[in-house]
Structure formats: C-alpha cells, structure tokens
Structure 1
Amino acid sequence: MTPRMFSFVGGNTGRWRIVRNLSVSGMPLGEAARLDILPNTEIKPQLAMGWALRGLTSNERYVTREEKNHLLAVQPDLGRSEASCAALIPIRKNAAWWAMTQDERRSIFEERSHHNRIGMQYLPAIARRLHHCRDLSGNEPFDFLTWFEFAPEHEPDFDRLLAALRATEEWSYVDREIEIRLILD
C-alpha cells in the first residue's frame, strides 16, 4: 500500500540538508539544519525537532482530463538518482481564494494564470508532488506543501519556474509562502 500521508520534519536529523529557509510572505518557519520526510500520520517526538508539516496526497484538482493525461505522460517519478536538489514550498492562500467556487478558482488557476502550462514547460527536468493540508484539520499552518526534485544543473530552471508562478494573478491570493531549498548529501 502506497502511503498518502507525509510529514516533513525539520530539525537536526534527516536525509536532506537545508541550504535555505526563506519566508517569501508571512510568518517564517523556525530554523532547521536538515529535513526528513516520513510517510505516516503520527510524528513521533524526535530529539531537536524544529518543526513538522503534514500533507496528504490526493486527486488532481483544477485540471481537465486532457491536462491530467499530459501530466501523467511526462511527469517523472520522485527519487531519481540525479535529483540531488529539492525544494519544499509550503503555501497558504487567503480567505478570498477559499470563498470562491471550484470553477472560479480553476479560472484563475489555469485560464488566467496558466499554472499547469507554466509547470509543463519544466517537465521532465523538475519532478513534483503536491500535498494537501487543508483537508487534514483547521490547525494546519499551510494549505499546500509542494515538493520538487531536480538535478543541480536544473536549479536555474526551477528559479524561472518559481518566478513565473509568483508573477501570476493566482499568487495574489497567497498570504504565506516559505521556500526551503535542500540538497542530498
């Protein structure tokens, strides 16, 4: 059985070394030297744990069947040997975003902001997995946790991807965003 729940734990231990922990907007996360990704629902107390974020993988939202099929055809798997760089981008959107209906959000997400089209330009170099937090509880600090993996030579592509997404109308609804860059060592 493939796990759907994941905990991203920042502290002094973990497989990934944190090289940047930047608050793009809103309150920052605490400092941490390393990150571990645990496929579980309960986080066991760990020595020197700085913070923990939980997310659940789910069905794709805001996509058409054609977009989903195209994504499945080109989206690489996580854990590729050459992908020694990663980024965790926790995001929270404001109340105005969540007050809209699904079709209104889809209109902003894709028809006007071209979120999927922008992301597709960077596949298969950059792999990603979206984790939903909002469905877990009202106490989660973020709505989404997006995990990206890429080879070191594709970091400039990842920078361009982030810049393009942050320049869209969709990003005007983001009230908290953290950018955590990591390397595997």
Structure 2
Amino acid sequence: MERQGGFRDRVDSMLEEFLAERESFYLGTASADGRPYIQHRGGPRGFLKVLDERTLAFADYGGNKQYISLGNLSENDRAFLFLMDYPNRTRIKIWGRAEAVEDDPALLARVADPGYRDGKPERAIVFHLEAWDVNCQQHIQPRYTAEELEPALEGLRTEIAELRAENARLRALLPEAQPLAG
C-alpha cells in the first residue's frame, strides 16, 4: 500500500463506478466507549450515492428497530464502510465520519430510490470520507448472484434442449430394439 502512495482521500472514477454497482455493504460503527458494531446494508444497485468527492450518502429506511448504528453515530461519528465485489474478487474499505440527517428534504430526495420501499426514507446517512483503499484479492472466493449466473445458465439450457432434440432425431433413425438372445 505505501509503495502506491498511501490511502486515497477522494472519490475518483474507479470508486464511483464501483459504488454504482453495489447492492450491499457493511457499515461499521462504535459506541462512545469503543464497542464495535457492524451492520449489513442493502438496497437497489447504486443506492450508496456519491454526493461529491468527499461525501457519500444512502437512504435509511425502517428496519429491525434496534437503532444500534444510529445510537453509536449519535455519540461517536467515526464509521467504516466495507464493500465486496465477489465476482471480481475486489474489496474496498472506506474510513470516515457519518451522521444521520432527517430534516433535509432535498438530501432525502437525492438519496431516495423511488422504486424501493415506497421511496420514502426515514433519514439519510451521510458519510464524510477521510480515506479509502482497495484490498488485495487473496482469499476472496468468487460468489455470484442468480442474476449474474443467468446468462451462463440460459446458454446451458439452450445447449441441453438442442442436445435432447438431436438425441431424439438420432433415436428415430435407429431400428426397433431387438430382444437380446440369451
């Protein structure tokens, strides 16, 4: 990492493109006394929005009503995002500070996804980026969603159908089976 000049502190085109493809990430927070907590966040592809080169945000919809991350952020704004791209064996770590914003209609509209959960978030979580890094690929096992596998599966389904049809045509050319002499 240090040979590459250290951590990056601004969103560049690579990070922006990476974020636009994510459907989930992990949000790490800690209480005032340092007790860590990690929470999975999911939504439509690209729901973690780039507001500017140092600011990310996402819509926060009602969930399990535990409010652990929100409680942590209310007393300790340090936060961490961990994002995985399993098919491409890429992970990105983002350090910064986060805040919950409930009273900014323009921001809420900007981060809302109209087709997702009625498009009305309870709040926005705004993440002020301090540093980010791409981790090595070592030990990342590729995983694929059903959507990502569908093109390959469709090709296999087509091939199977063609082979079955060919098999039926070839069987039709064979003479009737004769009983074996015993």
Q: What TM bracket, shorter-length normalisation?
A: under 0.3
Q: TM-score, normalised on structure 1?
A: 0.23
Instruction: Determine which structure has greater relative contact order: mean sequence separation of CA pairs < 8 Å that are 6+ residues apart, divided by chain length.
Output: 1
**Higher gyration radius (CA):** 2
